[in-house]
Structure 1
Amino acid sequence: MNSPMTPARLRVGIVSAGRVGTALGGALAAVGHDVVAVTARSVQSQARAATRLPSARLLDIPGVVSQAQLLILAVPDTELSEVIAQVADAQPRPGTIVLHTAGAYGANILAPLAELGAVTMAVHPAMTFVGTSDDTVRVASSCFGITAVDEIGEAIAAALVLEMGGTPVRIAESDRTLYHASLAHGANNLIALISDALTALTVAIEGPTGEHRNTATVDGPDSGLAQRILGPLVRASLENVLDMGPAALTGPVARDDAATVARHLDALAALPDAGVVDGYRALSLRAAGQSAAGEELRDLLEKQS
């Protein structure tokens, strides 16, 4: 028997069996909910559903809607409006809980379903998923941005997140875009930054044409050497900034060392990909603005190459 603090077991339907959908489905199944149906268009999604959500039937959207007490719309932002329209056409039963996982939207986009009597909410995991069983573990360490149109929806969203082991964080409807932008800037743009750094470091180790590849280490060739060098430094820097904020900044910008930064710009400008030096310049300028950098360094970084 469920206590007042334990949500009832729900029949869960998921649109679709992508990384997010299967991660949340797996997490809900692990705490006793019944994942009964899922959409999966691609062969890869079908295989993922069979492995990760073995009790779920593969159905189309109307079929999933007909089976679900809790309906999860785990589709890309660009597809969400069209999927909502298809769900509305399928006429979900009044009282069906419908949540979407898109970071950039709140609950208002689900208005067509609320008008049909659904209980609607936005429940976005602030986490990146890779499509394996490790994703279910990641859910339990995630914060979720939740937005609902009323206190009932907010309470249901929070209860579901807490059940999965996550932490619910209320985000106002008007702040969803800013919330999403901050996550994209911190996580997605981090990938662009590290990719650029690895590009430059690989050239520094191997030479522009790979002529030093066989003598890069005393142990012989190592195709992952750039990652081995950069990885510990990046991880330590990430932990430091999360703990200390901008005060964690070290290096030539923090030291107001314009001469070294100028040499960096020259070296990066020689790379075939001009975007690397452009990214360095832009981020160094932001770092200069967060520190006590002098006018000479700021002028150097503001100057167009």
Structure 2
Amino acid sequence: MNRDGRLGVGIIGAGLVGPIVGAALAGAGHALTGITRGSDEDRVDAVLPGVPVLDAIEVVRRSELVVIAVPHDELPGLVAGLADLGAWQVGQIVLHTDPAYGIGVLDPAAAGGAIPLAVHPAIAFTGTSIDLRQLAAAYAAVTAPAAVLPIAQALAVEMGCEPVVVADADRPAYAEAIETVTAFSRSIVQQSTALLAGIGVENPGSYLSALVRSTVDQALAERPPID
């Protein structure tokens, strides 16, 4: 880490999450070293203009903090593959954004001396600058070895989020909660808007917006039952 606490940050994963996390950290003063190629280069360039597009090994080589934001099924193989190539560096921070994995998935990097962190910002990413405003009102689940937990918490804050510590063993339950609320909410809203459209209501999404928001706010304010 630099004397002023600023890091060279590389992003592996140019989908909806990686560029936004990179932009948030850049906004906190960190320097972006590179990002891997994505399927929508125009969108990534709009969020991270001028950031070099590199392969994963070069991103790791140039970076003090590597943010991995790839699909769930790709994460273990990516981390292990880079370890097999001797890419991970002693003292390098490696952070993944997957809700379901804790730090165990980063064991191959940790075996090479890297510092493993798991930080999941709890928003529905769009991959656009709108997400930066959402992060400012969001929480993030952080999981890390006790000695470096403050680093994970500080990075979550620099993304704009309020950090909440989730134990490594609790990450699967956390991921289930996130998947349940996102999938269920999306399904119910889509079903309701289709019904309204079917009876001729114009702009059914706009019609339901205030109702959905107020209902969700009320549900969130209610104390959940404890088994």
| TM-score for both structures, normalised by structure 2 | 0.91
Aligned to 1:120: 116
Q: Aligned pair 1:81/2:76, yes or no?
A: yes
Query: CA separation in 2, counterparts of 1:144 and 1:58?
Result: 27
Letter in 1 for 2:117: M
Letter in 2 for 1:80: L
Alignment of 1:8-27 (within 5 A): 8-27=5-24
Q: Match of 1:19, SS?
A: coil
Alignment of 1:180-219 (within 5 A): 180-203=175-198, 205-206=199-200
- Please point out which of 48, 61, 71 is paired with 2:56: 61
Whether the 8 Å contact between 1:65 and 1:90 is mirrored in structure 2 is: no
Query: CA separation in 2, counterparts of 1:196 and 1:48?
Result: 30
Query: CA separation in 1, counterparts of 2:120 and 2:95?
Result: 9
List structure 1 runs of 4+ shifted beyond 3 angstroms. Answer: none
Query: CA separation in 2, counterparts of 1:62 and 1:49?
Result: 19
Query: CA separation in 2, counterparts of 1:67 and 1:55?
Result: 16
Higher RCO, 1 vs 2 (CA within 8 Å, ≥6 residues apart) = 2
Query: CA separation in 1, counterparts of 2:213 and 2:104?
Result: 38
Whether the 8 Å contact between 1:12 and 1:35 is mirrored in structure 2 is: yes
- Please point out which of 153, 176, 201 is paired with 2:148: 153
Q: Match of 1:40, SS?
A: coil
Letter in 2 for 1:93: Q
Query: Structure 1 residues 66 and 246, CA, compared in 2 at 3 Å: closer, same or farther?
Result: closer
1:130, CA displacement in angstroms?
A: 0.8
- Please point out which of 145, 168, 176 is paired with 1:173: 168
Aligned to 1:239: 217
Whether the 8 Å contact between 2:15 and 2:38 is mirrored in structure 1 is: no
Structure 1: 5+ residue stretches without partners: 207-215, 217-221, 248-305
Q: Aligned pair 1:91/2:69, yes or no?
A: no
Whether the 8 Å contact between 1:13 and 1:37 is mirrored in structure 2 is: yes
Query: CA separation in 2, counterparts of 1:229 and 1:72?
Result: 39
- Please point out which of 125, 131, 137 is paired with 2:127: 131
Whether the 8 Å contact between 2:92 and 2:114 is mirrored in structure 1 is: yes
Q: Match of 2:222, SS?
A: helix
Aligned to 1:102: 98
For the pair shown, the structure with the greater C-alpha radius of gyration is 1
Q: Match of 2:33, SS?
A: strand
Query: CA separation in 2, counterparts of 1:15 and 1:59?
Result: 9
Query: CA separation in 1, counterparts of 2:64 and 2:215?
Result: 44
1:63, CA displacement in angstroms?
A: 0.9
- Please point out which of 28, 49, 66 is paired with 1:71: 66
Identity across aligned pairs (percent)?
36
Letter in 1 for 2:14: A
Letter in 2 for 1:94: V
In angstroms, what is the RMSD of aligned CA positions? 1.9
Whether the 8 Å contact between 1:17 and 1:48 is mirrored in structure 2 is: no
Aligned to 2:205: 227
CA offsets 1:10-44 (integer angstroms, 9 cap, x no match): 000001122211111011101110011100132x1
Higher helix share: 1
- Please point out which of 15, 26, 30 is paired with 1:29: 26
Aligned to 2:42: 47
Structure 2: 5+ residue stretches without partners: none
| TM-score for both structures, normalised by structure 1 | 0.69
Query: CA separation in 1, counterparts of 2:170 and 2:134?
Result: 25
Whether the 8 Å contact between 1:101 and 1:122 is mirrored in structure 2 is: yes
Aligned to 1:256: none
